[in-house]
Amino acid sequence: MTNPSGGEPPRILIVAARFYHDIADALIRGATEALGEAGASHEVVEVPGAFEIPAAIAMALADRASVQYDGFVALGCVIRGETTHYDYVCGESARGLQDLAIAHRLPIGYGILTCETRDQAWARADVDRGNKGADAAQACLTMVQLARRFGAARPA
């Protein structure tokens, strides 16, 4: 996806959960390649797990005076285990991101994989197969364009 508006290239913050570091690396690779192809600049910050992603984006918003991003890409992986921890992490990270997106009119590309097995996660994260990192980056860029169209770019 290119920048058809002809405006300033988007600045994107990728927030990546490192709990499954190898899967996170594949997601980051897919996202950064897609953003590069679109001419967008990006920065990557890492957090321990998917649960921490919404808080990291909220922290970036608190520092809007010095750093401005047009959109965010949330990347991570949650694999079901033997307890209900999976359900809480998946639900709360998704809810936190959606709450941020709505409250602050934020373009957020959602790339948190929620899988039953590591094989399922790899099938989605691998840049030569599912490439969900690229999908999340492209979703973010699409929402950045929409925000610019409606005058909601770089919300406070």
CA-to-CA dists, residue 90 to 25, 52, 81, angstroms: 20, 11, 12
Complete edge-to-edge strand list for the sheet that includes strand 108-115: 41-47, 11-17, 71-79, 108-115
For the annotated catalytic residues, the residue numbers are 85
The values of phi and psi at residue 81, to 5°, are -115, -150
